[in-house]
Amino acid sequence: MAQLSDDCFAFGGPMMSVDEAVGIIAARVTPVGEVETVSLAQADGRILASEISAPLPLPPFTNSAVDGYAVRSGDLPPQGEQAFPVTGRIQAGALARESARPGHAIRIFTGAPMPEGADTVFMQEDVRVDEAGKVVLPAGLKPGANVRPAGEDISAGHSALKAGQRLRPQDIALAAAFGLTEVEVRRRIRVAVFSTGNELVSPGAPRAAAQLFDSNRFMLMAMFSRLGCEVSDLGILRDDRASLASGLKQVAAAHDLILTTGGVSTGEEDHVKAGVEDVGTLVLWRMAIKPGRPVAMGIIGGTPFIGLPGNPVASFVTFVHVVRPTVLALAGAMQQPLVPMPVRAAFTYKKKIARREYVRVNLHKAADGVLEVTKFPREGAGLLSSLVDTDGLVELGEEITQVQPGQTVGFLSYASLI
User: Can you tell me the distance from the alpha carbon of 267 to that of 278, in angstroms, rounded to the nearest whole number?
Assistant: 18
CB of 296 to ligand AMP, least distance (A): 11
From 92-100, 257-265, 281-289, 366-374, span contacting ligand AMP (CB under 6 A):
257-265
- Is 291 a binding residue for ligand AMP by CB under 6 A? The answer is no
Q: Pick from 57, 59, 312, 325: which binds ligand AMP (CB under 6 A)?
A: 312
Size of site (CB under 5 A) for Mg ion: 4
Residue 265 or 416 with smaller CB distance to Mg ion: 265
What does each C-alpha distance from 269 to 199, 261, 274, 314 come to in angstroms?
A: 12, 14, 11, 19
Cβ partners under 8 Å of residue 93, min gap 6: 111, 112
Length reported for the chain: 418
Residues paired with 319 in a beta bridge: none
- Is 307 a binding residue for Mg ion by CB under 5 A? The answer is no
Pairing type for strands 230-237 and 190-196 reads: parallel
| Long-range pairs for 141-145: beta carbons < 8 A, 24 or more residues apart | 141/76, 143/73, 143/76, 143/119, 144/73, 144/119, 144/120, 145/120, 145/121
CB of 266 to ligand AMP, least distance (A): 10
From 52-60, 144-152, 196-204, 405-413, span contacting ligand AMP (CB under 6 A):
196-204
Q: Pick from 214, 256, 357, 372: which binds ligand AMP (CB under 6 A)?
A: 214
- Is 197 a binding residue for Mg ion by CB under 5 A? The answer is yes
Give Rg (Cα) of the chain: 30
The interaxial angle of helices 272-279 and 241-252, nearest 10 deg, is 50
| 88 φ/ψ sector (left φ>0, alpha ψ -120 to 50, else beta) | left
Chain position whose Cβ is nearest to ligand AMP? 310
Q: Pick from 63, 260, 261, 386: which binds ligand AMP (CB under 6 A)?
A: 261
- Is 200 a binding residue for ligand AMP by CB under 6 A? The answer is yes
Query: What is the pattern of x (binds Mg ion, CB under 5 A) and - over residues 249-278?
Result: -------------xx---------------
Residues 263/245, Cβ–Cβ less than 8 Å: no
- Is 63 a binding residue for ligand AMP by CB under 6 A? The answer is no
Residue ranges in contact with ligand AMP by CB under 6 A = 195, 197, 199-200, 214-217, 261-263, 265, 309-312, 382
Q: Please report, as ranges, the residues that interact with Mg ion according to CB under 5 A.
A: 197, 262-263, 310
